[in-house]
Amino acid sequence: MFCGTKFEEAKLLFDSIESKGASLKLLLSKDEQQIHQLQDNFVKNRINVILDVFKMFITSLEIPSKEHLEKLRASTIDIPRFEKLRGWLLEEKIKFSDLLLEFNAKYFDLNQVVKNTHELQHRIIQKISPSSESYEENNTNFNFDNTFAIYFESKTMYIERSSIVNVDQKIAFIDNLYIDSISTDLKVFKKVSIEISMLEEKQIAVKRLIKNLNTAISRYQKLLIKDIEVPFYIYSGKVLQAHQSGIGNGIFIKDKTGGDTLKNIRFVSNWDSDHDVLNTMSSGQIAAIVITLYLALNKVYAQGFGCLLIDDPVQTMDEINMISLVELLRNEFSDSQIILSTHEDHVSKYFLYKFLKYHLSVRQIKLIDRKEFQLSNPRSRPLVSA
């Protein structure tokens, strides 16, 4: 697998490697051959001897039983405890190093371990100083006899009558007394916990309202698309006279996911396709799509507001699309006041010409020169071209 050559047997591969190595050795200089010979002698006379010793040592060891391995694994849990004990012994200046036994894989003397353990206990007890005379006096309340006399009136029958249930009930009673006597902080904590729980419930309710609101918005958007899709298709077909999908073909607004809520719309030239035409359109064609969408929205929803504000709509449009847009505005929105801005003089003149030709009043305002030209016809609302 390494050299790209197929060998039927492993022995053939090893023989080939050895042969190749012998060929490479012939290419070495005299000094290099001598160094290589020294390395081979070292491996043969030293390394192999050491490996034989290791093998003899390993084979002489007894294989630990599964039970022994489990005990070793369990003993690792007590390592922190032994480290803590070692630190305490050092702090208390208790000698213990002479009691430690050396590891012996073949022999384990349990009796010696027990003996050393007892010796360590003896050394620890010797370090304990006797209690002072005043200790008994200051701690008489903790004396067993006093406790027996106070709580059981020195009568064994009271102890015999006691059961685990009684003890548990007593513990519960003491816990209740403790809860009643704790600081106001815990009471405040409980109050805050209740408030947090209530807020979490309100948060869930708000999330539910948000979800319902988003669903309602999506449904409204879906309805909005349905309301404007027909005029948008007509307007886009009138403006996009040079669209690659056909001459004067309109654009459909399609939600490929379906359903009664709007999720992901596409502008497609063919209803059977989900490919968005905006990905293949030029900047002028995209501008035409935006304007026709705007006009469709105004046509459907801007009832009672007879004014259109359009900023530089033909900056990137082809001439044929610009001509189509003028015709659309003149025919579909002749009863609206159109305020249109452009910084191209020939575009302004063309728009003015098309509206004047059909006896519509217009006004031209040149903002740079601060001049206004009135060409009016009282029969209709004016087009303002700035």
For residue 225, pLDDT beyond 90: no
Please tell me the least confidently modeled range out of 27-36, 106-115, 219-228.
27-36
pLDDT tens by residue, 338-384: 888 888 888 888 888 888 888 888 888 888 777 777 665 545 444 55
Mean pLDDT of 10-19: 83
* pLDDT, position 221: 84
pLDDT tens by residue, 138-188: 666 566 677 778 777 888 888 777 778 888 888 888 888 777 777 667 778
The residue ranking higher by pLDDT, 345 or 257, is 345
Number of neighbours of residue 245 by Cβ within 10 angstroms? 14
Q: What's the CA gap between 186 and 196, in Å, rounded? A: 15
* pLDDT, position 8: 80
Mean pLDDT of 268-282: 84
For residue 211, pLDDT beyond 80: yes
Backbone phi, psi, residue 316, to 5°? -115, 10
For residue 244, pLDDT beyond 50: no
Per-residue confidence band for 203, with pLDDT thresholds at 50, 70 and 90: very high
Residue 109 DSSP one-character state: -
* Burial call 331-347: b when 16+ CB within 10 Å, e when fewer: ebbeebebbbebeeeeb
Domain residue limits, the chain:
81-126
* pLDDT, position 246: 43
> Average per-residue pLDDT in the chain?
81
For residue 116, pLDDT beyond 70: yes
For residue 210, pLDDT beyond 90: yes
Q: What's the CA gap between 134 and 379, in Å, rounded? A: 119
* pTM score, whole prediction: 0.44
* pLDDT, position 248: 65
* pLDDT, position 152: 79
Mean pLDDT of 3-19: 79
What DSSP string runs through 159-222? HHH--HHHHHHHHHHHHHHHHHHS-HHHHHHHHHHHHHHHHHHHHHHHHHHHHHHHHHHHHHHH
For residue 204, pLDDT beyond 80: yes
Query: In what side-by-side order are the strands of the sheet with 362-366?
Result: 307-311, 337-341, 383-385, 362-366, 371-375
Measured CA to CA in angstroms, residue 247 lies from 53, 314, 324 at distances of: 94, 19, 12
For residue 295, pLDDT beyond 70: yes
